[in-house]
């Protein structure tokens, strides 16, 4: 991250919760230092028309009976306000709501993790053009996004978009370990701690937990009742392993081995 303290940190979050779940304590530490932070959620658009069967199932599981995206945006706004972070929402549709030709892109509950999903070249082009425009508008000191751990198609789109946009615009890119996927995946450090420029402490983790609690529709589906304990255990584990509760990596400085299939719909 550059030394320009007047420039914001720009965070590309695939979904309405990924940034806070992954680096909420780091965002708290940044804003405590007086840094400006913008969290740009990529797949935050509201679909029109009827939902697919798996989208309807997801809504039922989360108790999202009406205006699900609007409800989730409201939760995200509350969570980011808790951290003193500015939200920015893009209108791209979550994979659950996207179509491929005359069919739904995802036709099974685990389709979002399928590496053989059809390519979406028009989406990829629109994502890259938009990300570059966002970077040019905000002129950030650095960009953060999540590793594609768990192989969610929206996470894959986001990290590739961020990497291409940052390379084109000459901006540093750091990547966080996404929760809950990293809970069931072994991250192998490259031999040195991840370069977290703020290295949050216990009070920042407490602020993260307070922020995460705002995602009422997501927590039971993603973690179960003991979500706070799982997040704290993971932070303790990563601090012991890497020296940082929320390690950040540069492209090419990490490998990951999946130890258990992701079971939850995102």
Residue 263 lies in a domain: no
Q: Which residue segment(s) compose the domain that 167 sits in? A: 9-258
Predicted confidence at residue 187, as pLDDT, reads 67
Residue 257 has pLDDT above 70, yes or no: no
Alpha-helical (H) ranges within 152-252 are 153-169, 202-212, 219-222, 227-242
Residue 36 lies in a domain: yes
Residue 1 lies in a domain: no
The mean pLDDT of the chain is 90
Where does the chain show beta strands of DSSP type E?
A: 9-13, 37-41, 86-89, 99-100, 103-104, 142-146, 173-176, 185-188, 248-249, 255-258
Residues forming beta bridges with residue 70, ordered by sequence position? none
Residues forming beta bridges with residue 143, ordered by sequence position? 10, 173
Contact status, residue 146 vs residue 176, Cβ threshold 8 Å: yes
Residue 4 lies in a domain: no
Give the CA radius of gyration of the chain.
17
The model's pLDDT over 170-184, given as tens digits with 9 standing for 90+, comes to: 999 999 999 999 999
Residue 265 lies in a domain: no
Q: What is the pTM of this model?
A: 0.92
Query: Any idea what the CATH number is for the domain that residue 34 is in?
Result: 3.40.50.10320
Predicted confidence at residue 251, as pLDDT, reads 73
242 pLDDT band (50/70/90 cuts)?
confident
Q: Give me the number of domains the chain comprises.
A: 1
Residue 204 lies in a domain: yes
- CB neighbour class for 252 (10 Å; exposed up to 12, middle 13-18, buried from 19): exposed
Residue 23 lies in a domain: yes
Residue 167 lies in a domain: yes
The model's pLDDT over 82-96, given as tens digits with 9 standing for 90+, comes to: 999 999 999 999 999
Lowest mean pLDDT among 90-104, 122-136, 245-259: 245-259
Contact status, residue 53 vs residue 105, Cβ threshold 8 Å: no
Report the distance separating Cα 250 and Cα 174, nearest Å.
5
Question: Which among 61, 111, 114, 68 has a CA at the least distance from the CA of 224?
Answer: 61
Contact status, residue 106 vs residue 52, Cβ threshold 8 Å: yes
Query: Taking residues 49-63, what's their average pLDDT?
Result: 93
The model's pLDDT over 184-233, given as tens digits with 9 standing for 90+, comes to: 987 655 445 566 889 999 999 999 999 999 999 999 999 999 999 999 99
């Amino acid at each position: 991250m550059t030394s320009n303290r007047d420039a914001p940190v720009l965070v590309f979050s695939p979904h309405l919760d990924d940034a806070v779940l992954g680096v909420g304590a780091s965002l708290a530490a940044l804003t405590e230092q007086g840094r400006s932070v913008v969290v740009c959620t990529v797949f935050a658009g509201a679909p029109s028309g009827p939902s697919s069967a798996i989208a309807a199932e997801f809504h039922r599981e989360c108790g999202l009976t009406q205006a699900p995206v609007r409800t989730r945006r409201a939760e995200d706004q509350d969570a980011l306000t808790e951290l003193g972070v500015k939200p920015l929402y893009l209108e791209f549709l979550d994979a659950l709501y996207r179509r491929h030709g005359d069919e739904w892109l995802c036709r099974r509950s685990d389709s979002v993790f399928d590496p053989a999903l059809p390519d979406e070249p028009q989406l990829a082009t629109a994502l890259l053009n938009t990300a570059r425009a966002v970077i040019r508008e905000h002129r950030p000191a650095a960009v953060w996004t999540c590793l594609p751990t768990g192989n969610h198609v929206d996470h894959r789109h986001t990290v590739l978009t961020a990497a291409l946009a940052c390379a084109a615009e000459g901006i540093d890119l750091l990547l966080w370990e996404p929760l809950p996927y990293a809970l069931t995946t072994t991250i192998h450090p490259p031999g040195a701690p991840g370069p977290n420029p703020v290295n949050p402490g216990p009070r920042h983790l407490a602020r993260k937990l307070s922020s995460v609690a705002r995602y009422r529709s997501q927590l039971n589906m993603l973690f179960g009742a003991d979500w706070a304990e799982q997040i704290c255990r993971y932070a303790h584990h990563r601090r012991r392993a890497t020296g940082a509760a929320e390690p950040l990596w540069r492209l090419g400085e990490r490998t990951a081995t999946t130890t258990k299939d992701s079971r939850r719909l995102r």
